[in-house]
């Protein structure tokens, strides 16, 4: 889960990492009052949960109160990558001598955290790696030991610092690692962390992505999954409410299956026959009729879906329960889109009987079913 920049900066500040003074505004009037308090020159930043705000015109500078008002009006009417700007962060402008990068993420191959640093900041780390690979510093962090003071100083020294500056930026690195652990971050970064004209270090921008699986430890942020400011698709939100695994894709064939491996195989088979899946949805093992009905409702709520492929291999999931769920969903919502169903396994015959009695055909072969659903989708779901 992504945090807004202002949330990330408030966390950094609470852990003793210097950040520019700033406040959040949701209206032009609030922006004016904040500007009067902070006094220009100021930086006004759109608060959206997407990367690349600066390139999209979402970060603007203002050297007067009148300019702050004008900039605030502009940003609060903007959309960045299709997301409307509902709030702006107004902060003091820092006199920058040099932009740096420091971040921490997980290195799954080495089963450890990894700190990534660079004496060049202000651009995507991928861009730095491509244009200036020699400037990238990687340091594997043993999770049992953590990032110690001597580790942080070692990284700072490789970035070209010494003396009091080395100690100062080293402490910032240590504190960022502490936040990383406390907030179960998949990624935490300061891009850029800047060296000021006075030789101090300030996190000019900050980003934190919390591991979704750890949100039970952070209820203050979990709430946002079910709010309008979430970066998730509506279908993903509904899936989370119903404890379903759902991922939005770019095709037009809705997919429901039981078991991640089976659903992945279903996606591959659809693509083998030239189709494009619209989603990944795994109802899991032992899915009840209610859960199947919820899955159908979620997938069919996507306007991109033209036809639906339900692929069930009954083990602990009973085929008759799946069939009942399909009928339950058809009663609750008006299902007008064609469905191709493959049912094999526990209580298979009963499941097929329930569906065929109401005129819904059921197939045995996944390949045959995939080929059929692709054929239907090519005809526009007719």
Phi, psi of 88 (to 5 degrees): -130, 145
Helix (H, G, I), strand (E, B) or coil at 307: strand
DSSP 8-state class, residue 93: P
Query: Is 101 tagged catalytic?
Result: yes
Our measurement of the distance from residue 49's CA atom to the centroid of its chain's CA atoms, rounded to an integer in Å, reads 8
Catalytic option among 5, 186, 189, 238: 189
Query: Is the distance from CB of 306 to CB of 247 less than 8 angstroms?
Result: no
Task: Return the HEC string of 122-181.
Answer: CCCHHHHHHHCHHHEEEEEECCCCCCCHHHHHHHHHHCCCCHHHHHHHHHHHHHHHHHHH
Our measurement of the distance from residue 166's CA atom to the centroid of its chain's CA atoms, rounded to an integer in Å, reads 34
What angle do the packed helices 319-332 and 289-300 form, to 10 degrees? 50
Tell me how far CA of residue 205 lies from CA of 26, 60, 94, 363, in angstroms: 20, 14, 11, 54
Element holding 182 (H helix, E strand): helix 163-182
Query: Is 189 tagged catalytic?
Result: yes
Q: How many CB atoms lie within 10 A of CB 364?
A: 11
Tell me how far CA of residue 211 lies from CA of 2, 27, 28, 71, 105, in angstroms: 9, 31, 34, 34, 11
Catalytic option among 101, 113, 161, 177: 101
State both tokens at 272. 């083998």
The catalytic site residues sit at 101, 189
């Amino acid at each position: 889960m992504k945090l807004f920049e202002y949330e990330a900066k408030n966390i950094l500040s609470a852990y003793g990492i210097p950040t520019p003074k700033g406040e959040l505004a949701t209206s032009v009037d609030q922006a004016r009052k904040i500007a009067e308090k902070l006094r220009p020159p100021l930086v006004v930043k759109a608060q959206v949960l997407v990367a690349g705000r600066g390139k999209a015109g979402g970060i603007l500078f203002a050297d007067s109160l009148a300019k702050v008002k004008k900039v605030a009006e502009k940003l609060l009417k903007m959309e960045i990558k299709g997301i409307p700007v509902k709030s702006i962060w107004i902060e003091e402008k820092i006199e920058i001598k040099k932009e740096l990068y420091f971040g921490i993420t997980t290195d799954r191959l080495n089963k450890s955290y990894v700190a990534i640093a660079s004496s060049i900041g202000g651009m995507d780390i991928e861009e730095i790696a491509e244009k200036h690979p020699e400037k990238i510093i990687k340091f594997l962090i043993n999770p049992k030991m953590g990032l110690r003071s001597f580790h942080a100083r070692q990284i700072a020294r490789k970035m070209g610092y010494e003396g009091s500056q080395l100690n100062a930026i080293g402490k910032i690195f240590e504190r960022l690692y502490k936040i990383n652990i406390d907030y179960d971050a998949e990624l935490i970064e300061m891009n850029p962390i800047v060296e000021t004209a006075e030789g101090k270090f300030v996190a000019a921008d900050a980003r934190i992505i919390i591991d979704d699986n750890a949100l039970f430890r952070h209820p203050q942020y979990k709430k946002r999954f079910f709010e309008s400011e979430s970066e998730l698709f509506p279908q993903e939100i509904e899936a989370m409410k119903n404890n379903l695994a759902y991922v939005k894709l770019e095709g037009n064939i809705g997919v429901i299956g039981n078991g991640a491996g089976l659903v992945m195989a279903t996606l591959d088979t659809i693509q083998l026959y030239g189709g494009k899946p619209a989603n990944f949805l795994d109802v899991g093992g032992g899915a009840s009729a209610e859960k199947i009905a919820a899955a159908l409702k979620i997938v069919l709520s996507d306007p991109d879906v033209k036809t639906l492929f339900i692929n069930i291999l009954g083990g602990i999931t009973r085929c008759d329960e799946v069939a009942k769920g399909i009928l339950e969903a058809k009663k609750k919502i008006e299902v007008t889109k064609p469905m191709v169903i493959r049912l094999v396994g526990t209580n298979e015959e009963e499941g097929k009987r329930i569906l065929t009695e109401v005129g819904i055909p059921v197939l045995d072969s996944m390949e045959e079913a995939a080929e059929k659903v692709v054929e239907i989708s090519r005809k526009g779901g007719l």
